[in-house]
Amino acid sequence: MTIAPAPVPVLAGEVWRARAAAHESRARSLTHGRRERAARGEAHPVEDFLFTYYSYKPSVLHRWHAGEGLELADAAADARAGWRWYRAGSARGSLVVDGDGFRAERGALIANISRILRATAGRAPGFGCFGLHEWAMVYRQPEHRHPVPLRLGQDATDAVVEAAELRCTHFDAFRFFTPEAAPRNRETPTRERQAALEQPGCLHAGMDLYKWAVKLGPLVPGEVLLDAFELARDIRVLDMRASPYDLAEWGYDAVPIETAEGKAAYVRAQRAFADRGRAVRRRLIDVAAG
């Protein structure tokens, strides 16, 4: 007995176009500052990070996808008919994301993303790092990544690192540690150990959800992509407020993690981000699974 495949849900034209328009409006609001600064040739040490470190242009956020398994009615004349990873649907004039084609070409990437996300989700969050990765990136280093002065000065910044236990588990943070700071870290993260070490309390693991959402491309509903970006944006603000940099000129108050009060404030924010990240990570795990 042959079992017919389940019908693919169809979004009426007025429904998906309204969702696409709402997505673009939200995305343009999120990228407005970056686009305006780029036009003026200006840079921002906090807000531009997600566009420079991850190297994804604002236009990536502007493009809405319904995600895999939904058919867009009356879409043949839409611009997305010419986008890669779209194909004709079962109904006349409809389009669907070509999930099979995307998975066939990017299968190894999707499997690796899924492996990292699942391993991270299955681990208890850790809240004892206190954002010291940013301090370790300037430890005993006269040249700094950001053209922003140190809040405590170099000697006092170095003293904070020397009085603390460095517990960074994220390779893409650890690889920027200064040569003097790296041996002080409790772990030695590598790219190969990424799935074995990442944990959901890590700010950088939360920011990376945006990267994974972009890499999963049209499989990810636009709303999930923007949720991941907003989470990464908010995490970046805490990351820099808790850093050794003096960002008062940019309108940011410090989270002084060199004090007990600052550590407590950092952990409270970190726990809230872990909760938000859990929901986004679950959505991306489901997307990768298909």
Q: Are β-strands 10-11 and 95-97 bridged in parallel, bridged antiparallel, or unpaired? A: unpaired
pLDDT at residue 2 greater than cutoff 90:
no
Do residues 33 and 44 lie in contact, with contact meaning Cβ atoms separated by under 8 Å?
yes
174 sits in which H/E element: helix 171-174
Give the angle subtended at the CA of 268 by the CAs of 265 and 273, to the nearest 5°.
Answer: 125
Please, which residues have CB within 8 angstroms of residue 288's CB and are 6 or more apart in sequence? 110, 113, 114, 117, 216, 219
Q: How much is the pTM?
A: 0.94
pLDDT tens-digit readout, 8-61: 788 999 999 999 999 999 999 999 999 999 999 998 999 999 999 998 999 999
Residues 62 and 22: their CA atoms lie apart, in Å, by: 10
| Nearest alpha carbon to residue 133 among 115, 116, 117, 145 | 145
How many CA atoms lie within 13 Å of 13's alpha carbon, on the beta-carbon side? Answer: 10
Cα–Cα distance, 270 to 122 (Å, whole number)? 18
Average pLDDT, the chain: 94
> What are the tens digits of pLDDT across the range 76-133?
889 999 999 999 998 899 999 999 999 999 999 999 999 999 999 999 999 999 999 9
What whole-number distance in Å separates Cα of residue 217 and Cα of residue 99?
10
Which of 87, 92, 75, 80 has its CA nearest to residue 14? Answer: 75
Q: Give the separation between CA 185 and CA 183, rounded to whole angstroms.
A: 5
R_g (Cα) of the chain, nearest Å: 21
DSSP symbol at 147: S
Instruction: Indicate the domain borders of the chain.
Output: 10-289
